[in-house]
């Protein structure tokens, strides 16, 4: 057994704030035609780990936009550790106000419904895209059309796969690659998030605050066990414009 690569994978996974695992990110890079000449912008990039992986694997240059300063600082430290800081960086700012005249080969938005709907997210992303470029969208979706109200209250209304496809086509794009997740990927993400809450609960002194945090952790896990595991899934979609 290759213990080292399993451990390395766990370390990389801690830097990913969505369901997509590192090996899938590398695979997506292949279908995005990434190489040393390609430029990428990743909105709501978290630690910027996707950019770091692609820079390491394909030699891309790029920029990540992240609202949460702690993620930007930690992401840039890690990028530096790998001596990739001349190629990629995370900028701490609100993606909605981000201005840039550059057009990129690839524009990404994974794990955040930035503009409120898939259609609006595509319209936002294409402002930064070269005419022959590709968009990468990572989004949760409902497995069936009718799901329990408890899940809608928790997640809001999500598209089904067919609805995602129809929106992509209506916006003039074609789907060139997609990949949906499995339980293992979900469970890595669900427990990653719960571990963060557990760590912050350990620092609390006030019993009321502690019990609120515990209630949230219980609710988070039970939403997954009872609803999300069965009715919700996660997909990454590579799309390009129809000429």
Nearer to ligand SAM, 92 or 171 (CB): 92
Residues 21-60 that bind ligand SAM (CB under 6 A): 44-46
Q: Is 71 a residue that touches ligand SAM (CB under 6 A)? A: yes
CB 73 within 8 A of CB 62: no
Nearer to ligand SAM, 92 or 214 (CB): 92
Site track for ligand SAM across 110-139, x = CB under 6 A: xxx-x-----------------------x-
Query: How many angstroms separate the CA atoms of 172 and 242, rounded?
Result: 6
Q: How many CB atoms lie within 10 A of CB 75?
A: 25
Q: Taking the complex as a whole, how short is the minimal distance between the CB of residue 231 and ligand SAM, in angstroms? A: 19
CB 109 within 8 A of CB 67: no
Q: Is 181 a residue that touches ligand SAM (CB under 6 A)? A: no
Q: Taking the complex as a whole, how short is the minimal distance between the CB of residue 138 and ligand SAM, in angstroms? A: 6
Q: Taking the complex as a whole, how short is the minimal distance between the CB of residue 49 and ligand SAM, in angstroms? A: 6
- In this structure, what DSSP letter does residue 44 have? T
Residue 160: half-sphere exposure toward Cβ, Cα within 13 Å: 8
Of these, 68, 154, 177, 221, which contacts ligand SAM (CB under 6 A)?
A: 68
Of these, 41, 60, 65, 238, which contacts ligand SAM (CB under 6 A)?
A: 65
Q: At 19, give phi and psi (nearest 5°).
A: -80, -15
Query: How many angstroms separate the CA atoms of 162 and 167, rounded?
Result: 9
Q: Is 67 a residue that touches ligand SAM (CB under 6 A)? A: yes
Residues 85-114 that bind ligand SAM (CB under 6 A): 94-96, 110-112, 114
- In this structure, what DSSP letter does residue 86 have? T
Site size toward ligand SAM, by CB under 6 A: 19
Nearer to ligand SAM, 154 or 210 (CB): 154
Residue 34 contacts by C-beta under 8 Å, 6 or more apart in sequence? Answer: 40, 54, 57, 58, 60, 106
Burial of 243 from C-beta contacts in 10 A (0-12 / 13-18 / 19+): exposed
Contacting positions for ligand SAM (CB under 6 A): 16-18, 44-46, 65-68, 71, 94-96, 110-112, 114, 138
């Amino acid at each position: 057994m290759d213990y080292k690569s399993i451990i390395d994978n766990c370390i990389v996974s801690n830097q990913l704030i969505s369901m997509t695992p590192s090996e899938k990110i590398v695979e997506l890079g292949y279908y995005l035609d990434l190489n040393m000449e390609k430029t990428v912008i990743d909105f709501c990039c978290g630690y910027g780990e996707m950019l770091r992986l692609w820079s390491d694997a394909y030699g891309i240059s790029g920029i990540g936009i992240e609202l949460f300063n702690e993620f930007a600082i930690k992401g840039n430290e890690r990028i530096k550790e790998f001596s990739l800081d001349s190629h990629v960086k995370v900028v701490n700012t609100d993606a909605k106000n981000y201005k840039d005249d550059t057009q990129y080969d690839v524009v990404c938005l994974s794990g955040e419904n930035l503009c409120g709907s898939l259609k609006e997210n595509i319209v936002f992303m294409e402002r930064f895209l070269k005419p022959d470029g590709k968009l990468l969208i990572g989004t949760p979706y409902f497995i069936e059309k009718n799901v329990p109200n408890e899940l809608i209250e928790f997640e809001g209304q999500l598209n089904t796969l067919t609805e995602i496809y129809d929106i992509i086509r209506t916006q003039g794009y074609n789907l060139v690659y997609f990949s949906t997740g499995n339980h293992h990927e979900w469970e890595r993400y669900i427990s990653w998030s719960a571990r963060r809450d557990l760590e912050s609960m350990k620092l609390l002194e006030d019993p009321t605050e502690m019990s609120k945090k515990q209630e949230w952790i219980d609710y988070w896990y039970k939403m997954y066990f009872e609803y999300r595991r069965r009715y919700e899934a996660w997909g990454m979609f590579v799309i390009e414009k129809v000429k």
